[in-house]
Structure 1
Amino acid sequence: MKWRALAGAMIAALAVGGCAQGLGGGTYARTEARRAMTVQFGTIEAVRAVQLEGTKTPIGSVAGAAIGGIAGNTVGGGRGQAVATVIGAVAGGLAGSAVEEGATRQAGVEVTVRLDNDQFLAVVQADEGEGFRPGERVRVLRDAGTTRVSR
């Protein structure tokens, strides 16, 4: 029975990686389809590689706590077993949260654009291999607080 619970918790932890929303310039949410966006044009002034932190949802903590609690429960007996279960759950929760954040972390790019109206704008988005370069002409698309750079 313990192994089934452990397997279920591990599957939940692995599923966390698929829950992250895309943060690249070419990734759109379904709700963004068929909505007008403001488009500005400009020239890239600078490009810098950045790291986008991973997600921090309760899923990683809960899955880790379940795995840690089950592992702790297999240690000792009586009162020692109860203490080991609690310690395992707490340590597992912390580890699960760290694993989730690390698994969903991704490379990003900070693109500084001089718009045609001479304003500067810096946009951070996931690096989807666009290979932006200084001097290149790009579009800046804006909608409801979301800004992205594309060709």
Structure 2
Amino acid sequence: MQRPANLPASRVALLALVSGLTLISAGCASSRSGEVYTRDQARQEQVVRMGVVEAVKPVQIEGTKTPVGGLAGAAVGGVAGSNVGGGKGQIIGGIIGAVAGGLAGAAAEEGLTRKQGLEITVRLDNGSLISVVQEADQQFAPGDRVRVLSGGGATRVSH
């Protein structure tokens, strides 16, 4: 990759590093799937209750909001903004670029890690009614017989 003549190699390296960190952080988002378990949940006892799906509602599960997206955006925006003007103009451009980049980076991280989910309402065999939200990676319909698994700090609905 050739760099523009007016962009120092150190700034190109910083941009590449920040871009890579942003992509990595998006890939590290934890799953809220009914089929994905954390390492801590493995080999842990779970309580299993049986029930019937009463209702299914599509929902959105918000994305992650870590400092990485904002910091990465601020770094890229600061570098880009500092290329505007000269002298004090570069400083002001860098500050404005960093603030705008930070806001854009945080919004991008949240948007990239947002998931489609389902709010699944289940009437348990004991008559109680519960609702569980999880990623929409399995299909459920009213009348489906399901298992509700609870343990390790999580509850999930499974066929």
- Quickly name the TM-score band, shorter chain normalised: over 0.9
Deviation at 1:144, TM superposition (A): 3.7
Aligned pairs for 1:86-101 within 5 A: 86-101=95-110
Q: Find the aligned partners of 1:96 and 1:15 in 2 and give their Cα distance.
A: 13
Give the conservation status (yes or no) of the 8 Å contact 2:71–2:105: yes
Q: Do residues 143 (structure 1) and 151 (structure 2) align?
A: yes
Q: Normalising by the residue count of structure 2, what TM-score does the alignment of the two structures yield?
A: 0.92
Give the conservation status (yes or no) of the 8 Å contact 2:63–2:109: yes
SS of residue in 2 equivalent to 1:56: coil
SS of residue in 1 equivalent to 2:60: strand
* Unmatched 5+ stretches in structure 1: none
Picking from 60, 74, 83, the partner of 1:65 is 74
SS of residue in 2 equivalent to 1:133: coil
Q: Find the aligned partners of 2:139 and 2:40 in 1 and give their Cα distance.
A: 27
Deviation at 1:145, TM superposition (A): 3.0
SS of residue in 2 equivalent to 1:5: helix
Aligned residue number for residue 4 of structure 2:
none
Aligned residue number for residue 48 of structure 1:
57
Q: Do residues 5 (structure 1) and 14 (structure 2) align?
A: yes
Aligned pairs for 1:68-79 within 5 A: 68-79=77-88
Deviation at 1:90, TM superposition (A): 0.6
Q: Normalising by the residue count of structure 1, what TM-score does the alignment of the two structures yield?
A: 0.97
Aligned pairs for 1:98-137 within 5 A: 98-128=107-137, 130-137=138-145
Query: RMSD between aligned alpha carbons?
Result: 0.8
Deviation at 1:4, TM superposition (A): 1.1
SS of residue in 1 equivalent to 2:126: coil
Aligned residue number for residue 26 of structure 1:
35
- Give identity over the alignment, percent: 53
Aligned pairs for 1:75-86 within 5 A: 75-86=84-95
